[in-house]
């Protein structure tokens, strides 16, 4: 394993080592069956088994919804059930075969081998996460050959950590029936060994704590013409990503040591989420280049301290004069993580906002600053050229980990004095554990703000959190849930329709500041209509 970068966040490294199994498992998809399911043959008063008289198609549907161990036991219910499970596309989850949630035993490995050998398939879904494969590589190669022959559709394959660089057999890349694939804690095979590999039906790919080289992930994406969701989490060796895909809709990269990511062409991409990524070279920023992404609507978490943003062929810098070629007009939701005590980062905020002129929802995370550089020139925000999104488009803004710094207040004041259609604002103070100020101290600075020049009448919720500094770790489930229009929002904003127009219209006037709440921000639900006239 490559040595971690010298500038790596110690909290991040802790999560990658001591908590590696839990971090990986929190990002894995849930299996489609549960061990709470139970099946019992129902007998009527005359002793007749009505269930066993059902057509084979219905019996197979019943068995397919059971864990593999329970599915096999149905053969003992009645003669009618014998053989049903062998002709049913079953779900195999090795965690369901062990009495201990953390156990990795030879018995589980043996049961997996027996089920894969005896059941003719197909396998609808297989989760193998409970075996340390360093000493069982022969089993692994056999499993993959059987899964390829049985036409598995969804596969989650995670090696138990230590050692973490067990080679991933190339047989995996011959399973052309896969629709979802998650791999964790492996060493990726050489990209040259993927000749002839193809995943024509693969729609979702997760790569978790896998030792990869530059070009490995690109090669898999290129061989997956139906891929919609790409999730990458955790590696200690810096790589370069170059993404070209006509099908990708969501890309999430978390806790990844990344030299650069170049989204060359992704005409269907809707969401690009980067969280806790680092450059392997100390003091250097990860290069994030945005190319052909006409449908990109959600982008986060953009960090001036960590990312050098490049749009088309222009590197975005503080004070740059924005042109049309530098704007991504499709983005409606944007998240920034800024240390407001670092002037170089604050000066990048207007530059970033000008590149996304149609942003309607802005989410800010105020980062920790160990040694604030003092207040910016008080006229900094007054002298900023107009930001179109802040003036004409922004309807929602959240500000998390508020530290009650003057630079934070100046930014909030700028938004409130320029936003013409702002409807909802949530400011959540940082957990008092991480600051010398009390909750009352922090919230009082917000209530002391002058609203004489605020242009909109909006709901203003002030709250707090008991969570960790920097928020909870990002999970793939949030970003890949397309039924959630804004997964970056810390709360759900409920819009109440008016009695006649069926749409709440913003009104100019003073804004009511709701009573602060020191609970978790995820429980707050600011609603329209709570204003002071």
**CA contacts within 13 A on the Cβ side of 285:** 16
pLDDT band, residue 107 (cuts 50/70/90):
confident
**Chain segment 428-445, per-residue pLDDT in tens:** 999 999 999 999 999 999
The pLDDT of residue 424: 96
C-alpha 41/C-alpha 39 separation (Å) is 7
C-alpha 257/C-alpha 1 separation (Å) is 13
Token pair, residue 309, equals 């943003």
**Chain segment 392-411, per-residue pLDDT in tens:** 999 999 999 999 999 999 99
Residue 486 near residue 424, CB atoms below 8 Å: no
pLDDT at residue 502 tops 50: no
Residue 173 near residue 143, CB atoms below 8 Å: no
pLDDT band, residue 44 (cuts 50/70/90):
low
C-alpha 458/C-alpha 174 separation (Å) is 56
C-alpha 136/C-alpha 379 separation (Å) is 66
Please, where are the H alpha helices in 331-430?
343-346, 348-355, 388, 406-418
The alpha carbon of 20 is separated from its chain's Cα centroid by a whole number of angstroms, namely 16
Query: Of the candidates 320, 216, 232, 218, which has an alpha carbon nearest to the alpha carbon of residue 274?
Result: 232
% residues pLDDT > 90 (the chain): 49
Q: For 118, list phi and psi in degrees, rounded to 5.
A: -85, -30
For the ranges 9-23, 155-169, 321-335, 406-420, the lowest mean pLDDT is seen at 9-23
C-alpha 16/C-alpha 76 separation (Å) is 45
pLDDT at residue 2 tops 50: no
Quote the strand ranges of 84-147, DSSP E. Answer: 90-93, 123-128
The pLDDT of residue 25: 86
Quote the strand ranges of 186-246, DSSP E. Answer: 204-208, 229-244
C-alpha 323/C-alpha 321 separation (Å) is 7
Token pair, residue 95, equals 């965690």
pLDDT band, residue 206 (cuts 50/70/90):
very high
C-alpha 352/C-alpha 282 separation (Å) is 24
Residue 283 near residue 260, CB atoms below 8 Å: no
Mean of pLDDT values over 105-114: 83
* Torsion angle of the four alpha carbons 492, 442, 337, 346, in this order, in degrees rounded to the nearest 10: 130
Q: For 66, list phi and psi in degrees, rounded to 5.
A: -105, 150
Residue 306 near residue 277, CB atoms below 8 Å: yes
C-alpha 418/C-alpha 414 separation (Å) is 6
Residue 184 near residue 164, CB atoms below 8 Å: no
**Chain segment 224-268, per-residue pLDDT in tens:** 999 999 999 987 678 899 999 999 999 999 988 899 999 999 999
pLDDT band, residue 38 (cuts 50/70/90):
low
C-alpha 533/C-alpha 527 separation (Å) is 16
Mean of pLDDT values over 505-533: 38
C-alpha 262/C-alpha 243 separation (Å) is 6
pLDDT band, residue 521 (cuts 50/70/90):
very low
């Amino acid at each position: 394993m490559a040595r971690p970068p010298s500038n790596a966040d110690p909290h991040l490294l802790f999560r990658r080592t001591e908590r590696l199994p839990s971090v990986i498992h929190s990002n894995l998809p849930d299996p489609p069956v549960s061990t709470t399911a139970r099946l019992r043959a129902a007998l009527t008063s005359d002793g007749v088994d009505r269930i066993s008289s059902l057509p084979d198609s219905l019996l197979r549907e019943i068995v397919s919804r059971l864990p593999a161990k329970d599915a096999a036991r149905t053969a003992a219910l009645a003669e009618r059930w014998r053989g049903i499970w062998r002709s049913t596309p079953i779900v195999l989850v090795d965690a369901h075969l062990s009495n201990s949630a953390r156990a990795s035993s030879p018995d589980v490995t043996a049961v997996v081998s027996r089920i894969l050998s005896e059941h003719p398939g197909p396998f609808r879904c297989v989760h193998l996460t409970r075996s340390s494969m360093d000493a069982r590589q022969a089993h692994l190669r056999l499993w993959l050959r059987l899964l390829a022959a049985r036409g598995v559709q969804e596969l989650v394959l995670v090696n138990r950590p230590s050692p973490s660089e067990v080679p991933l057999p190339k047989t995996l890349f011959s399973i052309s029936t896969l629709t979802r694939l998650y791999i964790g804690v492996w060493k990726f095979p050489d990209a040259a060994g993927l000749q002839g590999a193809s995943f024509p039906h693969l729609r979702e790919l997760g790569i978790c704590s896998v030792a990869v080289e530059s070009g490995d992930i690109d090669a898999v994406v290129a061989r997956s013409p139906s891929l919609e969701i790409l999730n990458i989490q955790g590696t200690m060796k810096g790589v370069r990503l170059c993404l070209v895909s006509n099908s990708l809709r969501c890309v999430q990269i978390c806790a990844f040591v990344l030299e650069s990511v170049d989204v060359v062409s992704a005409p269907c991409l809707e969401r690009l989420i980067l969280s806790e990524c680092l450059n392997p070279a100390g003091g250097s920023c990860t290069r994030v280049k945005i190319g052909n992404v006409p449908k990109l609507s959600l982008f986060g978490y953009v960090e001036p301290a960590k990312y050098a943003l490049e749009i088309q062929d222009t590197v975005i810098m503080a004070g740059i004069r924005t042109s049309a070629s530098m704007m991504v007009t499709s983005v409606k939701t944007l998240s920034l993580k800024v240390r407001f005590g670092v002037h170089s980062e604050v000066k990048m905020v207007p530059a970033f906002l000008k590149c996304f002129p149609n942003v309607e929802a802005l989410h800010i995370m105020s980062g920790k600053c160990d040694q604030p550089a003092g207040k910016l020139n008080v006229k900094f925000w007054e002298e900023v050229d107009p930001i179109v999104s802040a003036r004409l488009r922004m309807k929602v803004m959240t500000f998390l980990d508020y530290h009650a710094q003057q630079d934070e207040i100046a930014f909030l004041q700028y938004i409130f004095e320029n936003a013409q259609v702002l409807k909802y604002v949530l400011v959540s103070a940082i957990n008092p554990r991480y600051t010398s100020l009390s909750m009352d101290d922090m919230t009082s600075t917000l209530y002391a703000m002058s609203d004489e020049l605020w242009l909109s009448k909006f709901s203003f919720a002030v709250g707090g959190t008991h969570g960790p500094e920097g928020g909870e770790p990002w999970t793939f489930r949030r970003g890949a849930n397309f039924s959630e229009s804004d997964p970056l929002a810390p709360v759900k904003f409920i819009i109440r329709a008016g009695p006649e127009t069926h749409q709440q219209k913003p009104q100019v006037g003073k804004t009511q500041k709701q009573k602060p709440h020191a609970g978790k921000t995820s429980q707050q639900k600011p609603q329209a209509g709570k204003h002071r006239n």
